[in-house]
Amino acid sequence: MMAFSLQHLRSEGIRFLSRVRSSEQHAVLLLAAGVGILGAFATMAFRVAVDYAQWLLTGRHDTLVEMARHLSPSARVLIPVVGGLLAGALLWLQRKRHDSTGIDYMEAIAGGDGRIPIRASLLRSTSSLCTIVTGGSIGREGAMIQLAALSASILGRCLKLGRSNLRTLVACGAAAGVASAYSAPLAGAVFVCEIVLGSIASDRFVPILMASVVSNITVIAVLGYHPPYILPDIPVLPIMGMIWFLPLGLLAGLCTPIFLRLLAMTRFLFDRSGLTPLLSLAVGGLGVGLLSLQAPEVWGNGYEVVNAVLHTPWPAQALVSILLFKLLATALTTGSGAIGGIFTPSLFVGAMLGCLYGVWLQQLRLENVATPQIYAVIGMGAFLAASSRAPLMSILMIFEMTSNYQIMLPLILACVVAYFSSRACAGKSMYTLMSRRDRDQQAHRQLKATTVQQIVKPAQTTLAPEATISDLVTVFNEFAVKYVYVVDSAQRLCGEVALNDVTAWLYRDGRSIESTGEPQLPCTAAQLMRQRLQPLLPEMSITSALAHFMQHQGERLPVVRSGEDPVLLGIVDKSSVLDIYVRQSAASI
């Protein structure tokens, strides 16, 4: 009867816990849907603010490129400078009142507690708004995603969610921001999982996907919003023509490190200049303004130019000119410290490279060659895959924007080739979080590759089993150690003698002489020997060796050839293990 009661109680408890877990998952899904709506309205508010600010500035609702074309040369130079001053002033105010750590949504999701500062995020988003409205060559998606994630963080804190659920909710907000910016809900969910979280786990992917889909539906229902890129109709591509997409992927993968190094070098130069954020952004705006005198297409994130390239033929000279000017404008904007995304500029560069590649193939008059516009579409995905180190997200985003299955095979080929060729060039991701994750993985691989055999030292504190107590005392006096290792004639480790045991024996022997006048029998190392230490093996990694030291209070451990043949090879110091571990860990920071 008692056994039946316990079994019944256990089964009821398991059933209750499963119901609680199930209800918690349902609650997270409902919250994710709510975050999708909040994220959609946050991005719509930013988009409306950009349009309204442009109207206040110029009295026009044109695109930024059209606005630049209608401005006088002096206004074309002055407006980006004023925008840089305003953006820099807001950043100065934010950095004066708030710490910069913990603001970015990626850090809040990947390593933080999900709490994003409200005032600091709003100041940075407003700074991004000033840069975007005045022609800064940067993506607006950065501020959109940040605001969507901030709205999720505020909701989670109001509901007093735990750390894990709050981080999940902020991840849902970020996905909602991507989906509403690009009308690509599946790519938005994969973006957060692949880039921010580093893996696609079902327990998080389902609510993230829910938020992404709801956000996309909300934007379409409220604004009738469509993707920013109006892609051309894509015909059935010949199978033999698929081979021409492989060099395009290789080109994108090889050019990506150059693009990212240009951005990093410009940022380094601005940092070394010693300029304040206010002056730094003003100088960046001045550079964009001067470039726009020759090419007004450098204003903005490049939507208008890419759409023009996708629907009208462009000569190679014009493509090269616009690409170079846009690269310089983007480097100046991001290098000066402007807040925004480089996701959209990456798509711009990919489209230009792809179109140039298509024009070059047409000039060669090869067979089974598609139109330059098709290569431009594939180039967008390939360059994004290489720069973001997220090939799956890139494939899904281009596919969702085209809604054409004919593009899948060449898109996959180009994105995979671009991804691996970029990694082969030791190129970093455009997201510092992924670059840090790559460094962590590299450091972990180096730790696993470093073995005990590389840091073994000679074992000077060894004695034979027949060594006397006097021999043991001599060794302990000469070396500041806690153990003497006992080895046989073949140098096989038999055990160890502890300093405490020798001290205890001498104390007992002294008491025996004092009480009886007769000393105890002579003591040998074999009599005091024990087998308390777990020896290391030469093929062990540093991580495994450190785990052994965590179970041992001493500063050294013996190293033997193998468990079956315990020939003593030497010793390893704990300090040596910790030194390698700290150096490899510091290299990943």
Q: Are residues 424 and 487 in the same domain?
A: no
248, 379 Cβ separation under 8 angstroms: yes
**Residue 460, domain member (yes or no):** yes
218 and 252: one domain? no
pTM: 0.70
HSE of 484 in the Cβ direction (CA atoms, 13 Å)? 30
Beta partners for 414?
none
Does some domain include residue 348? yes
- Domain boundary residue among 167, 189, 223? 223
Angstrom distance (rounded) from CA 246 to CA 214: 36
State whether the Cα torsion 388-391-396-402 is positive or negative. Answer: positive
Number of structural domains the chain divides into: 3
Could you tell me if 266 and 399 lie in one domain?
Answer: yes
Q: Specify if 10 maps to a domain.
A: no
Q: Are residues 456 and 415 in the same domain?
A: no
* 443 within some domain: no
The residue type at 289: G
Residues 43 and 92 placed together within one structural domain of the fold: yes
Are residues 414 and 536 both part of a single domain?
Answer: no
| Residue 171 main-chain phi, psi, to 5 deg | -60, -40
**Alpha-carbon 587 to chain mean position:** 16
Give the domain-ending residue among 383, 402, 431: 431
Q: Note whether 30 and 171 are same-domain residues.
A: yes
Cα 529 to the chain's mean position, in Å? 52
In a domain, 3, yes or no: no
Residue 72 sits in a domain whose CATH number is 1.10.3080.10
**One domain for residues 126 and 257:** no
Quickly list H helices, 389-485: 391-402, 408-424, 432-449, 469-478
54/179 same-domain check: yes
Q: Is residue 442 part of a domain?
A: no
| Residues 37 and 98 grouped into a single domain | yes
Looking at the structure, tell me whether residues 489 and 419 fall in a common domain: no
Measured distance CA(23)–CA(17) in Å, rounded: 10
| Residues 361 and 243 both lie in one domain | yes
For residue 563, with 0-12 CB atoms within 10 Å meaning exposed, 13-18 middle and 19 or more buried, which class applies?
A: exposed
Closest CA to 380 of 359, 403, 405, 399: 399
Going by C-beta distance under 8 Å and a sequence separation of 6 or more, which residues neighbour residue 114?
A: 108, 153, 156, 161, 163, 166, 167, 168, 169, 170
Range of the domain at 215: 24-223
**Contact between 296 and 321 (Cβ < 8 Å):** no
Give a yes or no: residue 405 inside a domain.
Answer: yes
pLDDT (tens, 9 = 90+) of the chain, 589 residues, equals 444 454 554 555 445 444 444 456 677 888 889 999 999 999 999 988 988 888 887 777 777 888 888 888 899 899 999 999 999 999 888 877 655 544 677 777 766 777 888 888 899 899 999 999 998 888 888 889 899 999 999 998 898 888 888 888 888 999 999 888 888 888 888 888 877 776 666 677 888 899 999 998 998 888 776 677 777 777 777 788 889 999 999 999 999 989 988 988 998 898 888 888 889 999 999 999 999 999 888 988 888 888 889 888 889 999 999 999 999 999 999 889 888 888 888 999 999 999 999 999 988 888 888 889 999 999 999 999 998 888 898 999 888 887 778 888 999 999 999 999 988 886 566 665 444 544 554 555 555 667 888 888 888 888 888 888 888 888 888 887 888 889 988 888 888 888 888 888 777 655 454 444 445 556 788 888 887 778 888 888 777 777 777 777 667 888 888 888 888 888 888 777 777 766 655 444 4
Beta-carbon contacts of 143 under 8 Å, excluding residues fewer than 6 positions away, are 46, 124, 125, 128, 129, 132, 339, 340, 341
**In 3D, which of 432, 356, 346 has the Cα closest to residue 381?**
346
pLDDT tens, residue by residue, 340-371: 888 888 999 999 999 999 999 988 888 888 88
Query: What are the phi and psi torsion angles at 47 (to 5°)?
Result: -65, -40
Q: Which residues of 216-236 are buried (b: 16+ CB within 10 A; e: fewer)?
A: bbbbeeeeebeebbebeebee
3-state secondary structure of 570: strand
Q: How many CB atoms lie within 10 A of CB 466?
A: 10
Q: Report if residue 568 sits inside a domain.
A: yes
